Structure 1
Amino acid sequence: MSADVELQGVSIAFGDFYAAKNVNVKIEAGEFFSFLGPSGCGKTTLLRAVSGFLEPSEGKVLIGGQNMSGIGPNKRPTSLIFQNLALFPLMSVADNIAFSLEVRGVSKQARRKRADELLDLVALNGQGDKKVHELSGGQKQRVAIARALAVEPEVLLLDEPLSALDLKLRQKMRTELRAIQQRVGITFIYITHDQGEALTMSDRVGVMNDGQLEQVGSCYEVYQTPSTPFVATFVGENNAFSGKVEKVSKGIAQVNVDGTSFSGSIGKTTVGDPHPVGVGDDVMIFVRPESLSLAKGTKAPKNKFSADIETIELFCQAARWHLTEVLV
């Protein structure tokens, strides 16, 4: 069983400081939703409000349409996986998974059956009698997921659970985590500062900045049609230019940047409407690196410019060119 989660005007204050400011979002039942943002932006604070470890200063948290105000973590249909997995080192893997069931008075036979089902789900068949220290980092992560699923929550909350893993293991676990979510079919709310995690696993992403939700949309939308300059620069890489609008026609703006004219589509607001751009306005142009190509020559026709190559960074599959001083 899965439940939707809705934040209605949620603000969370610590004295005069607001960690979250008037956040409104509805996460659909069965959705994999990620809050993406830099450290200190308020995403973990929101997760704690959903889990019941924090009460909003303003607004409401609804799970399955029910107002959660005054309902503690142990009474909510949620499970939370912390950044620190907090597995019990002296218990076996199976006992770790079934611990919450033991607390609830479930029989030993039923606990073991449920643990074996979850070990199968997370591809740890036959590992139930091992101790935690005998497992790899990825296996420990899967045990934590299985333990969180043992009580059959309607919503699983994940607070940067992959951050302690190395790059290769993180990439592998992203695939496994998404596959597990699709098999169990419940709502996943995932917290991360890693855009690679958010964009590869999520159905939708909410981009956070300074306690505010700047944009909510599909991975394609937040990457290709960012609503704010912050989203444009935080999600993926972008080249940013400042200029003045010379002409506007049918959703296309012509912008003068230091004497060179560029034309491009006008960005959309958070509600999907084009930004109200007029002739003479100061604007920003954002260009993804993959939308650029390099060629020899000094002429600079429309949407092209000349520049000096400052440095070149080589990667296994690509190179990053740093250009300096536009030569008009």
Structure 2
Amino acid sequence: MERLPQFIYLDSKIVGTAKQIATFFEEGIFASETTVLIKKYKHKSAKQIAAIFRLHGIAYRFVLAQDLDTLPKGVMFYPFNAQSNCRAVANRHLTHIFITHGESNKAASVKPIIRIYDYVLTAGQAGIDRFLAHGIFSQHDVDSGRLITAGDTFIGKTGLSKQGKKCIFYAPTWEGGIEQENYSSLAYWQQVAERIIQKVVEYQIDTLVIRSHPNTGHRLAYYQENLFQLAKTCMQHNLKVIAYQPNLALSLFQQWKWKKLGIKFSSNLKDFQAVFALCDVSAIETQLLNEDISYELFYPAYQSTMAIPNLNVYHEVAPMDIQAAWLSLHDAAQHKIYWINTHFEQMALSNRITFLINQLSQYERN
């Protein structure tokens, strides 16, 4: 098959989205000849987004709607849903593939807009069942190859190692673009801190590593303060607190306040291994499953807005209040197989895009 030009389309003013795309290049999933096309906005974040791609040596350019119409034959990948994606997919010279930026049970995972793409990738059968259960796709779409499992290709990594200093790992998600999509446990940070301290005592661990979502505080700025207060409470119980700095969008004053308290920053989580993790309904759960890290899941009360296809695999550990509870898995090994197709385990990340595109061409020929 001829080598087609490859593009990634980004329509976002959130700087964290650029960091998430950069990770795909760092891991070798996308090659240097892949170009990121960024919707042009008159917004201060444009320079920051461009700086991130320059830092990582990623080819990029800003585009207007009419620029999308002139793109040649090729493949366009979409890590995020956005309204202007509808304009991009109107160019039928391109094959349009939604790859997501991590797989989760958030309601945003099953928005009807996802039907606009030629192909949609999921990590495993759970993603397919999620779409079927919500009527987004039909069994015919599955049978015809429109939904394709890509294993752990696009789910990302926690950054933790199997060899580092033992820790409890806490990874809250952000507050979402709208309140109906807020799955962040930082809304109830006091109860979360209590649960972390319980786990510290249970596992006899003195270190807490926090990796917040890079968008934390984008819509609700006080979530950064909630995170600080959680860390402060844990330190009052003689815990060493390490915060993953690349995901923190702190002002100089906030950085000073965190450092004054004694919170340490780290840009590399490979120095740590998690003996246990606590996370929200988010893509982090898939990463923890993939890396065989035991965890509990913060489960908000507004579960009707969630897209969990098999909730019965969880059991309630402890209700936090009328708004939330902690859940854990009955059988993590079986759940991992359900969520993540193991077909790609022996294939290098750098070979997977080519393999997937060749797979799609076979579907089209058939």
Q: Do both proteins adopt the same fold according to a TM-score greater than 0.5, normalized to the shorter chain?
A: no
**Counting strand residues as a fraction of each chain, which structure ranks higher?**
1
TM-score, structure 1 length as denominator? 0.30
TM-score, structure 2 length as denominator? 0.27
